[in-house]
Every structure is written in structure tokens, then in C-alpha cells.
Structure 1
Amino acid sequence: MPMAEGNCTRLNEFILMSFTSLPTKIQSLLFLVFLIIYLVTLMGNSLIILVTLADPMLHSPMYFFLRNLSFLEISFNLVIVPKMLRTLLAQDTTISFLGCATQMYFFFFFGVAEYFLLATMAYDRYVAICSPLHYPVLMNQRTCTKLAAASWFPGFPVATVQTTWLFSFPFCTTNKVNHFFCDSPPVLRLVCADTALFEIYAIVGTILVVMIPCLLILSSYTRIAAAILKIPSAKGKHKAFSTCSSHLLAVSFFYVSLSLTYFRPKSNNSPESKKLLSLSYTIVTPMLNPIIYSLRNNAVKNALSRTFHRALGLKNRNP
């Protein structure tokens, strides 16, 4: 419970309003739907990681970065979904002050890392298509490891500064967060202090985090498009484009869902509509990525087939 200190309080816990305004039957239905999506997400991304590790044909930079993306999606889901499911099933809406701060920290960390990892994957496709002869040299194992580390690193300062700063503010008498997880805007509404400087930082930081990877992706694909147009045969163009079509779809889903959530006019941005839009990047997009990469990528489909055949073969020899 909050402890009063003048006009403000020192909070020990928050209450996540989640979908508590909905009837119990609808909440039970949502629990079932979200649980299925969550399990599909975990299984799909775990399968991508295992297959790309087990199959020698997928030991290339493209699939190294895909493993990183799948690990990110699993981690991102673990930060948000289990608590949301518990809220829907057991009506356990409380989250400790430290738990809320931890959830927000890793939400920012994994979210920022995904932006930069998608940009790194675009650069990988640029080198593969525009400099195919130099690709094995330019994208060697050491370079890929450095690029992956560079993709993960920006999440640390962004998450540390934003979370530490926000949770250093005094909070007003209410501790009800009108969301299904501890996102910055709904928690910020509970602060009883001047947050103008923090809001400027948050807006500038968000724009930089979104725009820098976005510009890198656009730059890579502009050059990729120019290189593909120079290929004389239609078959060659199709083959070149097919190597980056899955990544383009993943980028589109990620950026569109986040843009609709965080860059809509305030007049059209009610808490309830934001909750629904937030489901797109917290629940739906992490589930779609392994589906996109497995259905639209022949190498992954063939690797999955080989893996299942090997597993069935082992099972048959060892009944």
C-alpha cells in the first residue's frame, strides 16, 4: 500500500488496470487467446534458434542475426506476457515498485536492441546483395559478433537513464497504472512533480532510437533496390529480392505497430486504444517473425524438414 508523505506518496506497489474493465468471461477468453499466442511465440522462436544452430547449412551471418532476433522476441515476451496472463487468470493486478521498474527497464532494453538489430540485419542483406564476392570476408564471424554486440548495447544506456530518472520522481496518491504492463507514459501520469524536462528527453530519445535505425534500414534498402534493378534476368532479380523479403516484412510489422502506438495524435490516443495497439508489438509481432522467416524462406523450411526427418529417424531406430 502507498504511504503518505504530504501531498505525495512513497509507493510499495502499483496496480495494473490491464483489461479489468471488461467482463470476466471476456477476460477468460483473452487469457486463452493470449496463452496460445504466447506458446506459439515461444515454440516458434525456440525452433528457429535450435534449427539454425543444428543445421550446418544455416551457419551464416543472416541466420546468426536471426537467432539473435528470435532470442530477443522470447526475452521481450517473457518481460510482459506472463504477468499479463496472471492478471487475466487470477486477477492478480498488483506489481511491486521494483517489479514495475524492472519490467520497464527490460521493455526499453529489448525494444531498443530490436530496432538496432533490424538495422544490422538490413546491413547484412546490403553487403550480401551489393558485394556478394566480398561478403564472406566482410561479414566474418568476428565482424558479426561485433555488430550483434553493437545492436544490443544501445539498450543499456537508454533503459538505465529513462527508468532510473522516471522512478526517482515522487508519485501522487493513486498507484493505478492504466495499462497491462509498466510502460513509461501511464506510469508518468502518476508523478506529482514537474516532468517537462523528462518528457523532452523521452521524446528526443524515442525519435533518435526510432530514426537512426530507420535511416540505416532505408539507406541499405535503397542501395539494395538499385543493385537488384541492375540484374539483367527476372529470375536473378527475384532470387536477390527473396533473400531480404522476410526481413522487410518483419521490419514493416515492427515499425508500423510501434508508430501507431507512440506517434498517434493525443486526441486519438485514449488509454484503451493504446492498450489494444500495444498488443500488436508485444504479442502479435513476436509470434509472426518466426512464421515469416519459416514460410517465406526456403533455406529455413528445408532445414526444418531435415531436422524433423533426423528426429524421426532417431526415434525409429530407438523406439
Structure 2
Amino acid sequence: MSLAADAPAGRLRAAVDPPRRRTLRQLLRVWGHRLLIWTLAFAFVAFSLLPLAWGVSTALKTKEAVYAFPPVWIPSPATLENFAAVFANPALFSSFLNTLVIALATTAIALVVGVLGAYGFSRYRFPGRDTLLWSLLFTKLFPRVVVIVPFFVTLRWLDLMNTYPGLVLVYLMAIFPVAIWMLKGFFDNIPIEIEEAAIMDGCSLPQLLWLVVIPISRPALAAVAMYSFIIAWNEFLFALVFTNGLSRRPLSVALAFFIDENGIRWGELMAASIVMSLPALVVFSIAQKMLVRGLSEGAVKG
């Protein structure tokens, strides 16, 4: 009797246990995948932050500690003499102002022209529209080295070499394709009924852009502004070729002059690099959420 009574219970446990074991295997598989993802993410972040951490460490070292072997991560003693030398350098301060003026001017013009161009491509149909739109994107396929000579000849002919307008014009040529495509993708997602209602209420085209389209498009405008500012702030090749002397030299080029016949002044170079990176990091941190939203929504194909 006991064997007969135990048989159904044994079959019941056999029928219940396999799903439990499968569930446990599934949980282990999910946890394993999550652990792998987190491990890879941590390794990627650590690898990305390694140069920044080494730069900060070098900027806080004395001249003797910079060349010490084996190298140390935590400077002892830490010093701010490299940052003091950077802030006391009038040439670097002038280069910082040059970079700020160029970046702000480039960003402002990129926003104005980008909004007008993207809105025209998004809302109007005209002959050659698609060809012109794709040709803008096609220009991004060319390496910057290829366009240096045409830009140089053009700027010299216009007498814009070593000037703010010359550098802004060159930077805009690299920024316009991305700005227009990004804003066009955002404008395509704005319901046309909103604009039709505004026109019925008596809005002119400038009022429609200023009072309706631009407020709705703030995330995309923030994305374009951040992209334009960072490109103009960090550009090196065009700035090196199209400027000479200290009057219009941006900070990205001025950093190269820490390398001279006496060697590389690593401490001052790292301190100046950190100072140069701070404005872009601050601006990016402030508008991070709007930047991500603008990039994702503007990437939708219209």
C-alpha cells in the first residue's frame, strides 16, 4: 500500500521538478547575460576614462614626477603649478577668447541657416529638392584633407585668411549637412495641422517659425547647437592651415606649441587640455537630455 501510495506522489514531484529546473536555468542564463553586459560596459567606461584620468594625474604632477619611472597614478605631492602657468600665459588666454568667439558665432549661424534650410526641405517641394538634399549629405563622405586646397584658394581670394569670418565659414561647411538633416528629420515629425491652425489664426511665415516651430523643436535645436559648438571648439586641422600668428589662433592649435625644440611640457599641456575641455563638458552636461532626444528624433528618416 505504501508503494502504491508513494507512486503518484513520486510522479507528481517528477512532473513539478522539471519546470523548476528549467526556470532556474533561465534565471541563471538571464543573470549571466546581465553580468556579461555590465562587465563589458564597465570595461568600456574604464577604458574610455583612462586617458582622462592619466591627463588629470599628469597635470597635478611636478616636472620631476612627470618623467619618473615607474610612473605613478596618484601624484605625491600634488601641485597646481601647471594650471597656474596656463592661466598666467597671455597667449593661451587670447587663444581661448578666439576659440570662444569662433564657436559661438559658428553655433548661432548654424542654427539660423539650419532651421531655414531644414524647414524648406521639410515643407516645400521644388525641382531638384531630393538631389540637393542628398548632395548635402554626400559632402560628408569627403575627407577634410581633400577640401583644404579649395578652401584655401577661396579664403585667399575673398581675403578671409587668418580672420574670424574665414574660420567660421569653413566650419559651417562641415556642420551644415548634419544640422540640416537632423532638423529636417525633426520637422518631418511635427504634425502639419499645428502649422495650418497657426496660419488660420493669422500667423505669417516668420511668426510661424518663431512662435510655433522653434518652441516645439527645442530638443533638436539643442542637439544642433551642441554638435556645432563642439565641432568648432575642437577643430584643429582647418584652424592650423587657415590661421597664422597669435591674433586669430584658436586654443586647439595653441596646445600644439607646448611641443618645441626643448621637448614636450607634459604637465602644462595636460593642464591646458583639461581647461580647454571644460566648456564643452559643461555645455554638454547641461543639455544632455535635450541632446539625446534631439539626436534620436532627428534621426528618423523623413
TM-score if structure 1 supplies the norm length?
0.29
TM-score if structure 2 supplies the norm length?
0.30
The structure with more radius of gyration: 2
